């Protein structure tokens, strides 16, 4: 069937604000396009500067009233102005096939691959994590996730207990288990993310070694060896005392989801309880690591 396409020219904050609004209004898909370049489905490329100049596109059923959608978006954004936008009618295409064609196996470090279920692993002898993109964030394609996966691939995980806080698809917890961790806790406030994490664990023959649940259901007295959190700067900063309580002395912490100019404020929140390393930068994105004092 044909589609109604509404696209907006936005920056990082605009993309974060608009995506949930459009989904709430019934968008069948929300995708990002580099402001001056190629489409990036679920941010397929690992390093385009998406947050400087980004085109956010939403697809609606063709019968949708575009004026009504734009009115609702403007009302939700008030007092901020409606971003520059374009409206178009699209003829039907095999969007699912196009999306599948764009999602390729990705390698992290020497031995870790993230492979969609419909493709054969490029290296059958490697550590292959089977994962399909879905409603939950986390396919390894975004720089913030990629940096965490690269860190995990190089870490000593044998017999480790790992917390993936804000787990999304569960990709970091599952990767840790496949790389040698003993137990992983996939934590999220979104029930859909927890469902996705469990489904992805099943694809990788992972069972009881993965715990999934909301933060307030974590076992009392949990003290992990490693905690990873790939979320946003605001929650990362506020959660500093929570993360300190979840890690054992000497435990490793990995924080991602930051842009470079947010590093200073986040470091200040963690330095009282952690020995922090210099930030790792990937384009505009930053990852922080440290050890619990």
126-135 confidence digits (pLDDT tens) = 999 998 755 4
Q: Is residue 250 part of a domain?
A: yes
133: number of CA atoms within 13 Å, CB side?
18
CATH number at residue 22: 3.30.70.260
Pair (177, 273) in one structural domain = yes
Q: How far is CA 238 from CA 159, 266, 269, in A?
A: 29, 9, 8
- Give the 3-state secondary structure of 65-86: CHHHHHHHHHHHHCCCCCCCEE
Query: What is the tally of structural domains in the chain?
Result: 2
User: Per residue, what are the HEC states of 179-206?
Assistant: CCCCEEEEECCCHHHHHHHHHHHHHCCC
Sheet with 39-40: strands ordered across: 39-40, 29-34, 54-61, 3-10, 85-90
177-232 pLDDT tens trace: 999 999 999 999 988 889 889 999 999 999 899 999 999 999 999 999 999 999 98
The model carries a pTM of: 0.70
Instruction: Please report the pLDDT score of residue 121 as a whole number.
Output: 94
pLDDT score recorded for residue 156: 96
163: domain CATH number? Answer: 3.40.50.150
Q: List the chain residues with pLDDT less than 50.
A: 37-51, 135
pLDDT, residue 95, reads 54
Last residue of a domain, which of 44, 73, 99? 99
**Within a domain: 7:** yes
- Shared-domain flag, residues 143 and 277: yes
CB atoms within 10 A of CB 264: 9
Distance, CA of 199 to CA of 69 (rounded, Å): 33
- The answer to whether position 113 is within a domain reads no
Query: Is residue 130 one of the residues assigned to a domain?
Result: no
Note down the domain range covering 73: 3-99
Helix (H, G, I), strand (E, B) or coil at 95: helix
């Amino acid at each position: 069937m044909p589609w109604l396409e509404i696209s907006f020219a936005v920056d990082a904050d605009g993309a974060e604000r608009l995506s949930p609004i459009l989904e709430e209004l019934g968008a069948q898909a929300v995708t990002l396009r580099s402001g001056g370049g190629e489409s990036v489905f679920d941010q397929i490329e690992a390093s385009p500067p998406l947050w400087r100049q980004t085109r956010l596109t939403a697809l609606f059923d063709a019968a949708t009233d575009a004026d009504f959608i734009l009115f609702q978006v403007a009302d939700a954004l008030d007092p901020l102005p409606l971003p520059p936008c374009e409206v178009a009618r699209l003829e039907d295409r095999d969007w699912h096939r196009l999306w599948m064609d764009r999602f390729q196996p990705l390698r992290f470090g020497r031995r870790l691959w993230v492979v969609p279920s419909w493709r054969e692993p490029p290296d059958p002898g490697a550590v292959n994590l089977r994962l399909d993109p879905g409603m939950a964030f986390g396919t390894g394609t975004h720089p913030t996730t990629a940096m965490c996966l690269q860190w995990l691939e190089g870490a000593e995980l044998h017999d480790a207990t790992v917390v993936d806080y804000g787990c999304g698809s569960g990709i970091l917890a599952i990767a840790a288990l496949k790389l040698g961790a003993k137990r992983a806790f996939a934590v999220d406030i979104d029930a859909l993310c927890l469902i996705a994490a469990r489904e992805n664990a099943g694809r990788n023959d992972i069972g009881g070694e993965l715990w999934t649940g909301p933060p307030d259901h974590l076992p009392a007295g949990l003290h992990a060896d490693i905690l990873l959190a790939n979320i946003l700067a605001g929650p990362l900063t506020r959660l500093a005392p929570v993360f300190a309580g979840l890690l054992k002395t000497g435990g490793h912490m990995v924080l991602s989801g930051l842009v470079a100019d947010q590093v200073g404020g986040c470091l200040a929140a963690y330095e009282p309880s952690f020995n922090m390393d210099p930030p790792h930068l990937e384009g505009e994105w930053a990852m922080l690591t440290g050890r619990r004092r």
